[in-house]
Amino acid sequence: MRTIHYFQGLLIGFCFILMASCGSKKQEVVTEVIRPVKYGQVMMSGDALKEVFSGAAQSSKETKLSFKVSGTLTQLAVKVGDVVRTGQLIARVDQTDYSVQYQQSVASLKSVETQIKSAYTQMVNSKANYERVEKLYENNSVSLSEFEQAKSAYETAQASHTAALAQANASEKQVESAQNQVNYSALRAPFSGVITSVNVEENELVGSGNPVATISAVGNPEISVGIPEVFISKIKRGQAVEITFSTIPNTVFTGKIYEVGFSSLGGSTYPVTVRIDKPTEDIRPGMAAEVSFNFGNTNGEESQKMVAPVAAIGEDSNGHFAFLLEKKDDHFLVQKKVISIGQLTSGGFEIVSGLQSGDMVATAGLNTLLDGMKVRLMD
């Protein structure tokens, strides 16, 4: 009897263990996680494609002003933000030494002018004596030696007068140069504009050629933009663009390409200058700008090409591939597609085969995706 009760107890205990085990298995069921992916779309290219590049506003004319002579700065007539006119004084250096040199050159010129008068008088007198002796010599009234002596004196006087004239010409150049040095001691605005920087203080020793201030022309601002090498061949002078400034909201300016750089800026970008059609006073040098360029065929002159985003194209030992995203219920399935590509265009890589227009493809983490993986599109 005790044996029967013993086996009944074991059976009941086993049932409880089995039930507990089944319950724990139900609790261990894990919800499947579907990974989000970035994506792009394969599309036909041939219509105008818009690309936006960052740039900065700059003055159409900007000059760093410097003295042609050195000296101690005795006067600084401007400060940053001042509006100046053509010829207006910017700064002045001590001109004492240059004034002394000018006075010395003037005195030297006057001395030479006196020499010219003396040489001219001597030449006139020697000429008259030579002509008199020449007539006497023809009548055998004077000797040959007297005739030659008079002739030599006249030629010497002529040479002295010519040398004095040459020296006077050199002295005049020295006076002009000394006068320039005096004038150079005053730095003046070469054109009307705004002072955008001042680099010196009064009583400072300034060297010739060292920037003292920077002046920028008022009006006609330009935008300097760096264009990647893949687009530079599509940009032509006179091409229309659109410009926006973050500091001037809700306003779109139009402009035209004025200059296209032939060589790069040291990397893979090329300098392009854009001039604004109708600028306003709100646009100032240094302001950040966004410039929109339209690329591609807008007249239907070229056949359309199927392109995919550059980031969607991978390469392995079998060649180029892309991960196609196929819709499946509430998610997408990843399918690795071997593709053939053509040239790199402004819209991406040209797709020769392997994909169709409208296909969605993954554009990030290609090395972590697997064929058949469940994913969802990243918002």
Closest CA to 220 of 260, 280, 287: 280
d(CA 309, CA 314) in angstroms, rounded, equals 11
Task: State how far Cα 284 lies from the chain centre.
Answer: 16
Residue 273 lies in a domain: yes
CB-CB contact of 37 with 377 (8 Å): yes
Closest CA to 313 of 339, 346, 352: 339
d(CA 163, CA 250) in angstroms, rounded, equals 76
- Identify the three-state secondary structure at position 236: coil
Residue 246: exposure state from Cβ atoms within 10 A (0-12, 13-18, ≥19): exposed
* Whether residue 211 sits in one domain with residue 73: yes
Residue 280 lies in a domain: yes
Residue 113 lies in a domain: yes
* Whether residue 206 sits in one domain with residue 331: no
Residue 29 lies in a domain: no
Checking phi first, is residue 372 left (phi over 0); if not, alpha (psi -120 to 50) or beta?
left
N-terminal to C-terminal alpha carbon distance within the chain: 72
* Whether residue 327 sits in one domain with residue 274: no
The torsion of the CA quartet 78, 80, 81, 86, rounded to 10 degrees, works out to: 40
Residue 108 lies in domain: 96-183
* Whether residue 174 sits in one domain with residue 127: yes
* Whether residue 263 sits in one domain with residue 191: no
Residue 8 lies in a domain: no
- Identify the three-state secondary structure at position 92: strand
Helix H or strand E encompassing 169: helix 144-184
Domain with residue 346: its CATH number is 2.40.420.20
Residues of the chain with pLDDT under 50: 1-4, 6-7, 24-29, 47, 298-302
The two tokens of residue 230 are 């893949």
Amino acid at 58: Q
Domain with residue 147: its CATH number is 1.10.287.470
Q: What is the pLDDT of residue 299?
A: 45
* Whether residue 174 sits in one domain with residue 101: yes
* Whether residue 311 sits in one domain with residue 276: no
CB-CB contact of 103 with 231 (8 Å): no
**pLDDT tens column, 328-343:** 888 899 999 999 998 8
Domain with residue 203: its CATH number is 2.40.50.100
Among the three residues 238, 263, 295, which one is the final residue of a domain in this structure? 295
Q: What is the pLDDT of residue 51?
A: 80
Residue 31 lies in a domain: no
* Whether residue 253 sits in one domain with residue 116: no
Cβ atoms within 10 Å, residue 64: 14
What does the DSSP 8-state code read for residue 287? -
d(CA 125, CA 149) in angstroms, rounded, equals 14
* Whether residue 365 sits in one domain with residue 247: no
* Whether residue 361 sits in one domain with residue 347: yes
CB-CB contact of 206 with 72 (8 Å): yes
- Beta strands across the sheet bearing 89-93: 186-188, 89-93, 71-76, 205-206
Residue 260 lies in a domain: yes
Q: What is the pLDDT of residue 250?
A: 86
Contacts of range 249-255, beta carbons closer than 8 Å, 24 or more positions apart? 253/277, 253/278, 253/279, 254/278, 255/223, 255/291
Residue 5 lies in a domain: no
Among the three residues 245, 274, 295, which one is the final residue of a domain in this structure? 295
Closest CA to 345 of 316, 302, 299: 302
CB-CB contact of 242 with 256 (8 Å): no
What does the DSSP 8-state code read for residue 60? S
d(CA 99, CA 82) in angstroms, rounded, equals 30
Give how many domains the chain has, as a whole number. 4
Residue 98 has, within 13 A of its CA and on its CB side, a CA count of 20
d(CA 4, CA 23) in angstroms, rounded, equals 29
* Whether residue 107 sits in one domain with residue 85: no
d(CA 91, CA 182) in angstroms, rounded, equals 13
* Whether residue 203 sits in one domain with residue 165: no
CB-CB contact of 208 with 67 (8 Å): yes
